[in-house]
């Protein structure tokens, strides 16, 4: 017998935040991941880079790999590898997990089942529909809306189901919705029974159509609602008008492009997503080490000569501290040196290292540091500035004009990543992007370098442009666009708040 094992893991209903801790643990240890159409691809990032990833999704009857083929892959890979079979929702709730487990048993391959949050519960909850409520019903049933195509006999006993259960949840029933409604009504369910059909529930693309049994099929057709969707039938659907929380968030339905470096995008993305936005990561900057660590290491080796260290970014703090540790030193070696931080995020990064900055200027730009030092005699003072390899020189140049000695050393460099420009172009042409955000001049310049200017500019003029601050805004304007959103506080939080307020006020 081989050394392999297969884990049938429920990926949950779509929102990656609903993935289980056990699922995460197994994904991080996976050698092979076999995943479905309904499994959020964000979860694939949890797997080791070297893990083999095999897509076997089934979409609208189009099977990338038929079930027989999936079973064969599970057996082949499961003999000698640690396999995660990532299945949308829960593997044992209309997910064919039972069939796949039987196949593994037949071939003597050990397996484990990791339940997932089923769409039957999560999707209605995100649509503001509790499946049970003391004032409405005390019973529920989960039903497939798409039975086996190789069987002529239905396993649904409509005459019993129609009136015996308060809340009915149908999986995969959009195509057969007219027949489902007709069967329920012909077997005694009132035509006025409320119904909700929820597409891509728990994700930013969630859409909900509400009606009653006698008209819901027509409403869904008019709304052009396509699979995948969950259908909820019952009086509890009436509670949606009161309890709809997910779709009521201020940025719900807005598609926002984040051009920030992938390493730094997570905080910004989390804030926007919490406000309901669909965030499209399109990093136009990649943070990389400088060509040589020698200049920074040499400066660290003579730290005692410096009066000030000025940090202009979180990346500068991180890289400086890493090189400090590499030299066998720590924050205690900064004793007697004053520290300045441009921006609260940079100050917070220093705080996490146990350092309280001596200067955090009112405005989050280099010129404000000069204002903060205006009362000091800088003649002969020595400054160290660990920063990006290419950056504005106004601060070091002005300090030198005031008699200071300034060592500007590269702590990191920004590079142009391999970006998915084709995907962004396609979305812009389809009108599927509401807002593009820029958090530095580099993100702007790099963004435009990835596109044909004559092609991209007309598409962007119908999109909201959000800039973190005046310097970035100036660069945007130099490229021929106007700024729609600029926060008072030039911070990520300030930018997110400004985007929220813009849409709340404009209604666009």
Active site residues: 36, 58, 172
Residue 257 zone, left/alpha/beta (φ > 0; ψ -120 to 50; rest): beta
Question: Nearest Cα to 36, choosing from 88, 102, 91?
Answer: 88
In 3D space, the residue among 25, 38, 129, 145 whose CA is nearest the CA of residue 86 turns out to be: 38
Q: How far apart are CA 358 and CA 127, in angstroms?
A: 49
Distances (CA, A) of 396 to 75, 126, 349: 63, 52, 22
Integer Cα distance of 147 and 363 in angstroms: 63
The helix or strand, by DSSP H or E, that contains position 445, with its residue range, turns out to be: helix 441-449
Burial class (CB in 10 A: 0-12, 13-18, 19+), 48: exposed
d(CA 501, CA 498): 5
Whether the Cβ atoms of residue 83 and residue 5 lie closer than 8 Å to each other = yes
Burial of 423 (0-12, 13-18, 19+ CB in 10 A): exposed
Structure tokens at 459: 């598409």
Phi-psi region of 382 (alpha: psi -120 to 50; beta: other; left: phi over 0): beta
Burial of 214 (0-12, 13-18, 19+ CB in 10 A): middle
Which residues are within 8 A (CB) of 339 and not within 5 positions of it... i.e. 6 or more apart?
Answer: 308, 309, 310, 311, 350, 355, 357, 358, 359
DSSP one-letter code for 116: -
Q: How far apart are CA 393 and CA 3, in angstroms?
A: 59
CA pair distance 180, 448, nearest whole angstrom: 51
| Cβ count near 421 (within 10 Å) | 16
Q: Which two tokens stand for residue 72?
A: 């064969």
Question: Which strand ranges, in their side-by-side order, compose the sheet holding 229-233?
Answer: 140-144, 167-171, 229-233, 194-199, 207-212
Write 356-360 long-range contacts (CB < 8 A, 24+): 357/311
Contact 463, 433 (CB under 8 A): yes
When computed from its CA atoms, the radius of gyration of the chain, rounded to whole angstroms, is 28
């Amino acid at each position: 017998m081989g050394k392999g094992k297969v884990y049938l893991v429920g990926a949950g209903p779509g929102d990656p935040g609903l993935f289980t801790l056990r699922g995460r643990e197994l994904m991080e240890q996976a050698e092979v991941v076999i995943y479905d159409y309904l499994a959020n691809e964000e979860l694939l990032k949890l797997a080791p880079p070297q893990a083999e990833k095999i897509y076997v999704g089934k979409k609208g009857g189009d099977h990338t790999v038929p079930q027989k083929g999936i079973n064969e892959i599970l057996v082949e890979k499961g003999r000698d590898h640690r396999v995660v079979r990532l299945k949308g929702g829960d593997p044992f709730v209309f997910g064919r997990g039972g069939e796949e487990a039987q196949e593994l048993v037949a071939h003597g391959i050990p397996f484990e089942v990791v339940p997932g949050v089923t769409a039957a519960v999560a999707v209605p909850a995100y649509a503001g529909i509790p499946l049970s409520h003391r004032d409405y019903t005390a019973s529920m049933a989960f039903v497939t809306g798409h039975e086996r195509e190789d069987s002529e006999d239905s396993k649904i006993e409509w005459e019993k189901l129609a009136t015996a259960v308060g809340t009915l949840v149908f999986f995969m029933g959009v195509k057969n919705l007219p027949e489902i409604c007709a069967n329920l009504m012909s077997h005694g369910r009132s035509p006025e029974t409320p119904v909700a059909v929820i597409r891509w529930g728990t994700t930013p693309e969630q859409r909900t159509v509400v009606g009653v049994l006698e008209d819901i099929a027509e409403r869904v057709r008019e709304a052009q609602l396509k699979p995948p969707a969950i259908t909820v039938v019952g009086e509890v659907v009436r509670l949606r008008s009161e309890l709809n929380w997910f779709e009521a968030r201020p940025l719900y339905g807005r598609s926002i492009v984040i051009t920030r470096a992938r390493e730094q995008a997570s905080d910004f993305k989390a804030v926007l997503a919490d406000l309901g936005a669909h965030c499209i990561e399109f990093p136009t900057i990649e943070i990389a080490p400088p060509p040589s660590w020698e200049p920074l290491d040499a400066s660290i080796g003579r730290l005692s000569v410096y009066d000030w260290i000025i940090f202009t970014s979180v990346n500068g703090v991180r890289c400086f501290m890493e090189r400090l540790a590499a030299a066998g030193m720590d924050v205690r070696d900064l004793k007697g040196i004053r520290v300045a931080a441009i921006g609260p995020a940079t100050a917070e990064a220093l705080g996490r290292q146990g350092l309280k900055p001596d200067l955090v200027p009112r405005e989050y730009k280099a010129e404000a540091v000069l204002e903060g030092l205006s009362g000091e005699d800088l003649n002969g003072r020595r400054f160290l500035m660990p920063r990006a390899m290419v950056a504005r020189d106004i601060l070091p140049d002005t300090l030198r004009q005031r008699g200071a000695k300034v060592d500007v050393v590269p702590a990191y460099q920004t590079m142009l990543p391999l970006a998915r420009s084709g995907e962004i172009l396609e979305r812009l042409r389809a009108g599927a992007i509401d807002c593009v955000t820029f958090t530095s001049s580099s993100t702007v310049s790099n963004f435009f370098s990835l596109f044909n200017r004559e092609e991209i500019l007309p598409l962007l003029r119908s999109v909201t442009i959000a800039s973190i601050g005046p310097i970035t805004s100036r660069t945007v304007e130099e490229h021929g666009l106007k700024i729609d959103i600029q926060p008072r506080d030039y911070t990520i939080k300030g930018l997110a708040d400004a985007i929220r307020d813009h849409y709340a006020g404009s209604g666009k």
